[in-house]
Structure 1
């Protein structure tokens, strides 16, 4: 804004005392001070408001005005509330230094002037920024991405002093300007946003955490990069939409600034659509592999399909990996409103599972009916031992997945939704994928039997006594057996070490070292070495009754 605009506003009651030729100066901000030397707080372009408490004699005016002029301030407004008429020595000093001077009536508070200037300056800056955002949107929609959401958020910070972050439904920070939010705050903001969205309230939603107010703007995932009306049922999108968290209270923002932030969310939605499009090929390949696994295709056919898909699913992996399978299911109660029976839960679960597993790059997620299924490759890691046996990299753990997403997603599921997850053990070939899929599904059913809106279970919870239950599928039993015994069989095949016969004899002798060594015609130290190798390869402890029972059942079912 220009200084001249201050005289055109009757509500401010300002009188010009000098500097009529300088009224076209731009005002970039406002500052109130009664310091003798406020230069350290000035950056240029300010309208300085003062109550003249710094002036004790006529000699004080010249130094004060020189400091302001040297700092490049736009003008000076002096209040009449304390000293009455503005001193002539101050007027003369301003004329000499070509600094516009205004008198502020005692009936007008400095806060009124400050509010007016800030509102005008912010509105103009927002308008300039809106034009930048619009140009950026056109660049992103017509050509290569222009830097992604971070560029736009940086504009908000530099031009409007707004700190903002783009968050996923689980609270994962996707983009941000300035310091990162701590994970706990991000999760709380995501949960508050999901809870507010489920109530049907229009955004932005406001929330205060630890004394800081945030305004939460929804970023709709609609496939076109522009915000549209809400879906026929909010539950179709609530678990997949991003949000824009702004560290400010938008409750008293002018319409122009709110429109600007809506434009920013539309621009970020374009980037969201780009990322979703990049997943299309992965989803299709995962769907093809899943259909082969579920229809009982030969392992060789599945392996051939995986080799074809390897450049997309496994970029940069030089060897065939181990695999894990994760199954997710989102269920809504029938009385949740708006015809929940018509909800297509499969795509919702698919999008959500991609978000939950986003840290595990190279994942591919498909959906079958109302459940989503993820194929997670685990690169092989060479053993540090002399035998050179490769083992899978550390895999996903159900408890870790649950901890990361439980609180925010529970808010989005509210009182009528549930998310259940099942995680398989790792398998070393396509031959084991069917068993891994059934194992993950069975683990998910174990999770579904627990209370809570978000539950998960892993293969480690399918204990041996559970496998004795009649409803456990044969594929799950076979997967359990393979997981426990295949490392030993592979080792025996490579080294002729006879670990399987040693294990059978050890269990048959009730864990007696002397009797087992005598039966196998081995020295006790050799037996101890073999049992130690069995424990190392399987991660079990043959001194524990539970592990002995697991081995016993695995051998009987093999």
Structure 2
């Protein structure tokens, strides 16, 4: 702002005492001081406010003004409350050094002037930054990306001292300026996402102001650059997929210029969001093709060929076909017809990203298709080079649930539900159909529970469940393969006869001597083989439950 603007504001109570020819100077800040030498706190361009407590006599004015001029201040404003008027020696000193001098009426607080100057300067800086943001947006929409969200967040931090972060609807930290200091803790991210989703469900316009752990944040929705808030027929079609911009500030008293700037920032980040969504097209198509082959009962060789195409796209440089997991998700709303498949697809793509990972890159390993009201994710796992030790690998349902339950429950409010089912890992095309049915059945188990966000994994499909008549055959086959395939693979490589040993051990009711005699083995050899079975499967053949699982698996194989 210019010094001249200060005289045009009656509420400031300023009277010009000298320096009329210098009123076009720019003001870049404001400082209040009564130090005899405030130079260490001056950087140039300030309007200096003083109550004249530093002045003990007329001889003090000249050195004080000289210090201000050498520091490059824009002007001096002296309060009349202490002395009744501004001393003539100060007026003369300012005139000699061509430093504009204002008198501040005793009824006007320095805080009033400070607030006004800060607002004006901030508004002008926001206008300059808005031009940069607009230029950056045009660059991104017309060509290669110009750095993504982090660039503009750095601008907010350096030019406006605003700490800002981009978060997903699940509370994952997508971007944050390096200038904003330490990253937000995961629990704060989840809390902000929950507050944003809850506010969005009420239909209130952003920004939404939130007080969290003693800190005030303003939350701005980031919507697709090609979609207006009115484009969706129902807010529930998009509430679970929009990103948000969290700013550590109270936007309630911001000027319009700054609010407009932040809206421009959200539009810029929306361009990056759309770019990421476009990049998911190939992965979505791969998942759709594999899903159609599996559901159509295609030959395993045909499915395997399609998986070989998908593997390098999802895990570049892997060099070998990975293991796979299937995750099924369903989003349902009470009393309203909303296409659940696309909503679940977008949400599942976000849910499956590690919540501690930053940036959109981790999503490049996720392929999600949708059919009807459900979304189906094909999740690649790096091939295990060591022998299987029976431990669980890949995604776990309870871990997924913990990472997203708080924010998504807020977005689902009291009329929506998200249910997830997670299969075991499979290492061949033959097992993929069973994994799909296993994930679907696990999701039905989750749907039978209470709560807005529920998940179940293959571990919860216990052996007694497999005896129920409504359990699909593919789920039974998946159970059998998960338990016996490590033993079959080991037998194929080492000719160890673990499967015959297991059958004989169960037929002998767990008797070591009878089983060893039946197999013509020494008891120590039998103990070694049983130990290897337990190691490969993670089971304990001294437990009745594990014996029952093996018995059922052998009968169904």
Q: TM-score, normalised by structure 1?
A: 0.94
Asked if structure 1 preserves the Cα contact closer than 8 Å seen for 2:388 and 2:486, the reply is no
Taking the aligned partners of 1:450 and 1:111, their CA distance within structure 2 comes to 58
The alignment status of 1:375 with 2:378, answered yes or no, reads: yes
Q: What residue in structure 2 maps to residue 448 of structure 1?
A: 447
Aligned ranges 1:341-352 → 2 under 5 Å: 341=337, 343-352=338-347
Asked if structure 2 preserves the Cα contact closer than 8 Å seen for 1:379 and 1:392, the reply is no
Taking the aligned partners of 2:541 and 2:126, their CA distance within structure 1 comes to 69
The alignment status of 1:479 with 2:474, answered yes or no, reads: no
Shift of 1:391: 9.4
The alignment status of 1:197 with 2:200, answered yes or no, reads: yes
Q: What residue in structure 2 maps to residue 41 of structure 1?
A: 41
Q: What residue in structure 2 maps to residue 502 of structure 1?
A: 501
Shift of 1:390: 10
| SS of 2:85 mapped into structure 1 | coil
Q: Deviations over 1:260-303 (max 9, x none)?
A: 21111111111111000000111111101101101111111111
The alignment status of 1:306 with 2:307, answered yes or no, reads: yes
Shift of 1:497: 0.3
Asked if structure 2 preserves the Cα contact closer than 8 Å seen for 1:13 and 1:105, the reply is yes
Taking the aligned partners of 1:347 and 1:289, their CA distance within structure 2 comes to 18
Q: What residue in structure 2 maps to residue 68 of structure 1?
A: 68
Asked if structure 1 preserves the Cα contact closer than 8 Å seen for 2:47 and 2:73, the reply is yes
| SS of 1:55 mapped into structure 2 | coil
- Structure 1: 4+ residue segments shifted above 6 A: 388-393
C-alpha spacing 1:442/1:61, structure 2 compared with 1 (3 Å) = same
| SS of 2:503 mapped into structure 1 | helix
Taking the aligned partners of 2:396 and 2:388, their CA distance within structure 1 comes to 23
Taking the aligned partners of 1:59 and 1:483, their CA distance within structure 2 comes to 93
Taking the aligned partners of 1:165 and 1:284, their CA distance within structure 2 comes to 31
Give the aligned CA root-mean-square deviation in angstroms.
1.9
Q: What residue in structure 1 maps to residue 555 of structure 2?
A: 556
Q: What residue in structure 2 maps to residue 21 of structure 1?
A: 21
Shift of 1:24: 2.2
Aligned ranges 1:202-241 → 2 under 5 Å: 202-221=205-224, 224=226, 227-241=228-242
Asked if structure 2 preserves the Cα contact closer than 8 Å seen for 1:380 and 1:392, the reply is no
Shift of 1:392: 10
Q: What residue in structure 2 maps to residue 333 of structure 1?
A: 334
Q: What residue in structure 2 maps to residue 279 of structure 1?
A: 280
Taking the aligned partners of 1:470 and 1:91, their CA distance within structure 2 comes to 99
Asked if structure 1 preserves the Cα contact closer than 8 Å seen for 2:47 and 2:75, the reply is yes
Aligned ranges 1:28-177 → 2 under 5 Å: 28-177=28-177
Asked if structure 2 preserves the Cα contact closer than 8 Å seen for 1:34 and 1:54, the reply is yes
Taking the aligned partners of 1:534 and 1:58, their CA distance within structure 2 comes to 98
| SS of 1:418 mapped into structure 2 | strand
| SS of 1:431 mapped into structure 2 | helix
C-alpha spacing 1:211/1:55, structure 2 compared with 1 (3 Å) = farther
Match of 1:355 among 350, 374, 379: 350
The alignment status of 1:527 with 2:526, answered yes or no, reads: yes
Q: What residue in structure 1 maps to residue 268 of structure 2?
A: 267
Asked if structure 1 preserves the Cα contact closer than 8 Å seen for 2:389 and 2:538, the reply is no
Q: Deviations over 1:471-493 (max 9, x none)?
A: 11110001000000001001001
Taking the aligned partners of 2:385 and 2:519, their CA distance within structure 1 comes to 31
Asked if structure 1 preserves the Cα contact closer than 8 Å seen for 2:311 and 2:380, the reply is no
C-alpha spacing 1:54/1:514, structure 2 compared with 1 (3 Å) = farther
Task: Return 544-553 or 490-499, whichever deviates more.
Answer: 544-553
Taking the aligned partners of 1:175 and 1:4, their CA distance within structure 2 comes to 41
Taking the aligned partners of 2:36 and 2:231, their CA distance within structure 1 comes to 57
Asked if structure 2 preserves the Cα contact closer than 8 Å seen for 1:321 and 1:392, the reply is no
Taking the aligned partners of 1:378 and 1:193, their CA distance within structure 2 comes to 33
Taking the aligned partners of 1:514 and 1:366, their CA distance within structure 2 comes to 54
| SS of 1:355 mapped into structure 2 | helix
Shift of 1:366: 0.1
Taking the aligned partners of 1:59 and 1:542, their CA distance within structure 2 comes to 99
Taking the aligned partners of 2:458 and 2:546, their CA distance within structure 1 comes to 15
| SS of 1:264 mapped into structure 2 | helix
5+ residue gaps, structure 2, are 355-361
Shift of 1:60: 3.7
Shift of 1:4: 1.9
Shift of 1:124: 1.1
The alignment status of 1:324 with 2:325, answered yes or no, reads: yes
Q: What residue in structure 2 maps to residue 518 of structure 1?
A: 517
Q: What residue in structure 1 maps to residue 359 of structure 2?
A: none
Q: Deviations over 1:131-158 (max 9, x none)?
A: 1111111101111011111111111122
C-alpha spacing 1:99/1:391, structure 2 compared with 1 (3 Å) = farther
Taking the aligned partners of 1:373 and 1:99, their CA distance within structure 2 comes to 71
Q: What residue in structure 2 maps to residue 337 of structure 1?
A: none
Shift of 1:110: 1.1
Q: What residue in structure 1 maps to residue 469 of structure 2?
A: 470
Asked if structure 2 preserves the Cα contact closer than 8 Å seen for 1:381 and 1:392, the reply is no
> How many residue pairs are counted as aligned between the two chains?
546
Q: What residue in structure 2 maps to residue 424 of structure 1?
A: 423
Q: Deviations over 1:396-435 (max 9, x none)?
A: 0001100000000000000000000000000110110000
Taking the aligned partners of 1:443 and 1:394, their CA distance within structure 2 comes to 17
Taking the aligned partners of 1:99 and 1:525, their CA distance within structure 2 comes to 100
Q: TM-score, normalised by structure 2?
A: 0.94
Shift of 1:382: 1.8
